[in-house]
Amino acid sequence: MSASQEQVGLKPKYANPAPLGLAGFALTTFILNLHNAGFIGIGAALTLGLFYGGLAQLVAGFLEFCTGNTFGMTAFGSYGAFWIALASTVLMEMNHWIAADALQGWLLATLGAWTLFTFVLWIATFRHNKALVWVFSTLLILFVLLDIHVWTGSKLMGVIAGWEGMFCALTAWYLMAAIVINDSFGREVLPVGSLERAEPQMKRALAHAARD
């Protein structure tokens, strides 16, 4: 902070790290689910998982810590680590760096655990905005579909998960675009659907019910 800023009590303006995290999540999710839907091989998703979906989201999570955003820090930090761990495990499996018996059931157990974690964050999104609710609703559905796919071995379920995952990526891209474009224009160009209006109405309804 410069001396002039200190004199007038101004604080420096920091960039919003959320678009970086959303962009890394969206692009990596889209490419992986192109693979799940049967369009491409898995190769590109692994490198993106390490660096864009992984490293970039981790950086966004650290920066969200600086802004005091607990939800953003938890989400971006966790899913960044998820992508790095997932891509690393697949690479180790492909190159036989891990014994085959040590890999038994790892994918289903991992996806199941992340489904529960995503459910917790999904609940928290209802205190933010509708666009974020859409992102986590579609992500939760994606994890459930992947759980079923891995559990049953159904190729059809894998393809369905792939298409749903691409839609999930589009919802994250939309929220990213809304934040960047709205910030650039200084006004709401792309709506995110504020949930703040519903809260006072709910409080009034509860107060009215209590009086009755």
Per-residue pLDDT reduced to its tens digit, 98-114: 988 888 899 999 999 99
Of 79-88, 94-103, 173-182, least confident by mean pLDDT is 94-103
- Identify the residue with better confidence: 195 or 70: 70
- What count of other Cβ atoms lies within 10 Å of the Cβ of residue 18? 22
What pLDDT was estimated at residue 197?
55
**pLDDT for res 100:** 83
Question: Whole-model pTM?
Answer: 0.87
pLDDT digits (tens, 9 = 90+) for 23-76: 999 999 999 999 999 999 999 999 999 999 999 999 999 999 999 999 999 999
